[in-house]
A and B are shown apart, each in its own frame.
Chain A
Amino acid sequence: MGWAIALHGGAGDIPLSLPLESRQPREEALRRCLQIGVEALKAKKPSLDVVELVVRELENIPQFNAGKGSVLTNKGTVEMEASIMDGSTKNCGAVSGLKTVVNAVSLARLVMEKTPHVYLAFDGAEEFAKEQGIETADSSHFITAENVERLKQANEAHRVQLDYTQPLQNGSKEERPNANGDVQLGTVGCVSVDSYGNLAAATSTGGLVNKRVGRIGDSPIIGAGTYASELCAVSCTGKGEAILCATVARDVAAMMEFKGVPLEEAASYVIHECMPKGTAGLVAVSAAGEVAMPYNTTGMFRACATEDGYSEVAI
């Protein structure tokens, strides 16, 4: 037993030949966020604080699809969503349709702690954000040139693009779309178990490239993209629609609870046996300090560390 932490920056059809200038900043970012989380755990911060802290950091990094760097809707705007869950109390908070809130995960936490509700969205959530005085910025803060380009390509191809697709260089098709032309996408998330055995999970995202305005994915849905109980904490990424209908995060916990299956097996089963190939990945930790990071896509930006010294950053 001991603390453990895992985080992700999205699963998707990440090209195996990802160029160095794309790999490096992301790996660095994952490493940095991991370090922040590890230090917080060593300083005995509770899991709920740790996951929020790490996800805030991931949201601020423009290379990942959350907060700054969120992908764009079909109208060229950002609509961010997030959720957070405290395994020991099962308290949870979620937000969707945010346009100006710099750190969606923090607003989700405020919904959990400062309102009688669990989930606030769109104008109502933005109003709440103003009342709470949480940091906001106008859309130029969130929109990056890469994402404007991705939206253009998706529009040209009439596609809702789920991917991290590298903006196509010289017209070469780097990504491999699924049968219906969709490609997969990222999101960010973090799960941890602290020294006291408390588990927490948080997930945040800008959603799908070229999504319809108003589209909600799995990230803010408790049980789908995020879940934490006394046994484990899970954060998912991939094709939101599929993760939602399969209630992935809850399923991992349910298998552990009702079938007595250990974390690695449960996580692996749900990803590899229950989800269509190329649709999902997740990071999970158990109360016992184990970590699992399965994915059925080409890659998943991820990192993890455990108290006994193990640590990993990978794609």
Chain B
Amino acid sequence: MGAWAIAVHGGAGVDPNLPLQRQEEAKQLLTRCLNLGISALNSNLSAIDVVELVVRELETDPLFNSGRGSALTEKGTVEMEASIMDGPKRRCGAVSGLTTVKNPISLARLVMEKSPHSYLAFSGAEDFARQQGVEVVDNEYFITPENVGMLKLAKEANAILFDYRIPNGCETTCGANVESPLHMNGLPISVYAPETVGCVVVDREGRCAAATSTGGLMNKMTGRIGDSPLIGSGTYACDLCGVSCTGEGEAIIRATLAREVAAVMEYKGLGLQEAVDFCIKTRLDDGKAGLIAVSKNGEVAYGFNCNGMFRGCATENGFMEVGIWE
């Protein structure tokens, strides 16, 4: 029996001026989620159960951009998406365009296990949710006042905001007034911070799993699908590893980033950290993104080429780390 390892993330690309209080809240949430995963692993829950459980927690907390607290579409509504993959046998499930499902990641799992399909979206996914009896709520449940404020700013700037939580009362100091040399997707970092969430786990049996969930881009066109629900782009797991990505969706899709990490391990024989570094360094071109990964040997790794990534990781031998910056 091997040793478990787990990593979680809350998005890559962080404003260097992020208020300390937000940083603290984020670290606390990541720590809480890690601990949840750790007790589950110590109770011998399988990797697929653990990633679902941890991502549910991240979705339920309004801090990051998934479930409650999701970024808003141009119409001011929430459309959530998620995907989950079970390394052994490479089973997968994905959902997009959810508007009432409280925990998208759980619906993605049900698609994988209870439907003949791998990916369901929009009204079809919502119907399936009702048939499965998962918890549903009004779309308003997911919308937070902060995000309503952000959407307004984004529209004023007529730009797509990737996600950013601006604490109440700071609207006057953010956006155009904050000069920041850092940009992501053409926008100043102060108005861009994708906070997709994800979790990757390898359990004691060496099984890997990965899960990713998001509300997508602030001010996105309705119907826009990003990398998070796309198997091979935002999420991937196989016998060798489990990977979850976050950042500029387009760049992640073009690089089929999650699959890439597994492919270089498989076809070039690289180790986990080497594979992660290789992909981050060479596969993203001008794109900015980050990812977390675990290998069947109980290793954990992460990498990002942008300014910061909310993350946490832990291994059975007692190593634990939560961080935002390099």
Residues of A within 8 A of B (CB): 90-92, 94, 96-97, 115-128, 160, 180, 182, 208, 211-217, 221-224, 227, 240-241, 244-247, 250-251, 254-255, 257-259
Given the interface contacts A118-B250, A118-B253, A222-B253, does A213 sit within 8 Å of B127 by beta carbon? Answer: yes
Secondary structure of the B contact surface, majority rule? mixed
For A255, the chain B residues whose CB sits under 8 A away are 267
Instruction: Give Cα A180–Cα B115 distance, bound, in whole angstroms.
Output: 13
> A122 to B117, Cβ gap below 8 A?
no
**Are B120 and A214 neighbours in the complex by a CB distance under 8 Å?**
yes
Interface string of B143-168 (1 = CB under 8 A from A): 00000000000000000100000000
Q: Which of B50-58, B89-97, B195-203 contacts A (4 or more CB under 8 A)?
A: B89-97
Given contacts A223-B233, A254-B259, A254-B260, contact A213 B119 (CB under 8 A): no
Given contacts A117-B250, A214-B127, A241-B117, contact A222 B230 (CB under 8 A): yes
Known: A212-B128, A240-B118, A258-B263. A245 touches B221 (CB 8 A): no
CB distance from A233 to the nearest CB of B (A): 14
| Given A120-B225, A124-B224, A216-B96, 16 extra CB contacts under 8 A | A92-B253, A116-B250, A118-B249, A123-B122, A208-B117, A212-B115, A214-B127, A215-B121, A217-B117, A227-B256, A245-B92, A247-B232, A250-B256, A251-B263, A257-B267, A258-B264
Cβ-defined contact, B120 with A224, below 8 A: no
A92 near B124 (CB under 8 angstroms)? no
Q: List 13 A-B contacts (CB under 8 A).
A: A96-B121, A97-B223, A117-B224, A118-B225, A120-B225, A123-B223, A124-B224, A212-B127, A223-B230, A245-B85, A245-B91, A250-B232, A250-B263
Task: Give A241 to B116 CA distance when docked, in angstroms.
Answer: 8
CB-based contact A247/B236 at 8 Å: yes
Known: A121-B121, A222-B253. A258 touches B268 (CB 8 A): yes
Contacts of B255 in A (CB 8 A): 90
Could you tell me which B residues sit within 8 Å of A by CB distance?
Answer: 85, 90-92, 94, 96-97, 115-128, 160, 185, 217, 220-226, 230-233, 236, 249-250, 253-256, 259-260, 263-264, 267-268, 285
Cβ contact of A117, chosen from B127, B220, B232, cutoff 8 A: B220
B224 pairs with A216, CB closer than 8 A: no
B253 touches A215 (CB 8 A): no
What residue of chain A has the Cβ atom nearest to residue B252's Cβ? A118
Measured in the bound complex, the distance between the Cα atoms of B160 and A91 in whole Å is 19
A115–B217 alpha-carbon span in the complex (Å): 13
- Evaluate contact between B231 and A215: CB separation under 8 angstroms: no
Asked if B97 and A122 sit within 8 Å, CB to CB, the answer is yes
Inter-chain contact A213/B231, CB cutoff 8 Å: no
